[in-house]
Amino acid sequence: MKNKLIITLSFLFFLSISADENKIKQKIEQILPTGAEIESIEPSKFPGIYKVFYGDLQPIYVSNDGTYFIYGDMFEITPNQILNLTDIEISAKRKELLSELDTSKYISFPSDNQKYTVTVFTDVECGYCRKLHKEISEYNKLGISINYAAFPRSGIGSNAFTKMVGAWCSNNPQKAITSLKKGDDLNLDFCDTQPIAKHYAIGKKIGITGTPAIITSNGNLLPGYVPPEELLELLKS
C-alpha cells in the first residue's frame, strides 16, 4: 500500500511538472527573439520557479504559470556564504560545451609539474594573446598547462583564420603558433582535419567575444590577459 502511494504521488508530481512546463513553453515562446528556440525547461532550486534555456548560457527564470519572468542572477543564502546560482549554472554549461571539443586537437603547452590546466581561446593576431604566449614558460613553471583553442576574432575565412588553420595543420603546431605570434611569415600547410571552425563555433556558444579568453577546469571564464602569478591565485581560490 505504501509503495503504491509513493508511485501515485510521484506520477502526480511528474504530471504537475509537465503541465507547468507546457504553460511556460507557450508563454515564453511568445517573447523569444526570432529564430530562438527553447532548449530545456528545468525546475530551479527556488520552489515554483523554473529555468528556461533557449540558446543563451544564462537562463530565464520563470514562474510556474509562465506569467512572470526574471532575466538576471539568482542567489542562495547558505550558513557560510552567498552563492550565485546563475554563475554556477553558466560555468557548468561552459564546461559541458567545452567537452564537445576533441582535446587531442588543442595545441598544448604542458607543465612538467602540472597542477592546473586551462583552455585558452586565442587569436594569433591579438596583441594580448601574444603577450600571454611570451610568458608560456612562466605559466608552466607555476604548474599551469595551457591548451590553445582557436578563436579568430575576425571570423571564418579571415586572415587570422587562415594562419591558424596552417598552425594546426603544421607538422610542429607548437613551433608554428609561436612563430605566428611573433609576427613571422610562414609557408602554411592546410588539412581537412583542422578544428578551427569547430573551436570558433564553440567559443561563440560559450560567450567569448574577445581574446585571450581563459576557461578553467570548472568552466569559469576569465576574459583577457591574466598574468601568471595572478592566474595561479585565481585557480587556487
Question: pTM of the entire structure?
Answer: 0.83
Q: What are the start and end residues of each CATH 3.40.30.10 domain in the chain?
A: 98-236
Alpha carbon distance, N-terminus to C-terminus of the chain: 51
Strand pairing report for 60-63 and 69-70: antiparallel
Mean residue pLDDT of the chain comes to: 88
Q: State the catalytic residue, choosing from 20, 126, 169, 191.
A: 126
20 is catalytic: no
Average pLDDT of the residues in 67-86: 92
pLDDT tens string 183-221: 888 877 788 889 999 999 999 999 899 999 999 999 999
Whether 192 is catalytic is no
Q: State yes or no: is 129 an active-site residue.
A: yes
Residue 42, SS3?
strand
Give the angle subtended at the CA of 90 by the CAs of 84 and 94, to the nearest 5°.
145
Distance of alpha carbon 7 from alpha carbon 176, whole angstroms: 62
- Which position has the grid cell 528556461? 52
Catalytic residue among 20, 123, 185, 191: 123
Give start-end residues of each CATH 3.10.450.70 domain in the chain.
Answer: 2-85
Query: 2-85 is classed in which CATH architecture?
Result: Roll (3.10)
SS3 content of the chain, % helix, strand, coil (to 5): 40, 20, 40
Instruction: State how beta strands 82-84 and 75-77 pair.
Output: antiparallel
The catalytic residue among 20, 94, 130, 153 is: 153
From 20, 94, 129, 130, the catalytic residue: 129
Distance CA 109, CA 139 (A): 9
Three cell numbers written together for 138 = 612562466
pLDDT of 224: 94
Confidence of residue 21 (pLDDT cuts 50, 70, 90): confident
What class, spelled out in words, does domain 98-236 have in CATH?
Answer: alpha beta
Beta carbons of 95 and 219 less than 8 angstroms apart: yes
Least confident among 21-35, 88-102, 177-191: 21-35
Burial class of residue 53 in the structure, from the number of CB atoms within 10 Å of its CB (0-12 exposed, 13-18 middle, 19+ buried): middle
Is 169 marked active-site?
no
Q: What is the mean pLDDT of residues 93-99?
A: 93
Q: Is the peptide bond before 212 cis (omega within 30 degrees of 0)?
A: yes
The torsion region of residue 224 among left (phi > 0), alpha (psi -120 to 50) and beta comes to left
* 78 Cα distance to chain centroid: 26
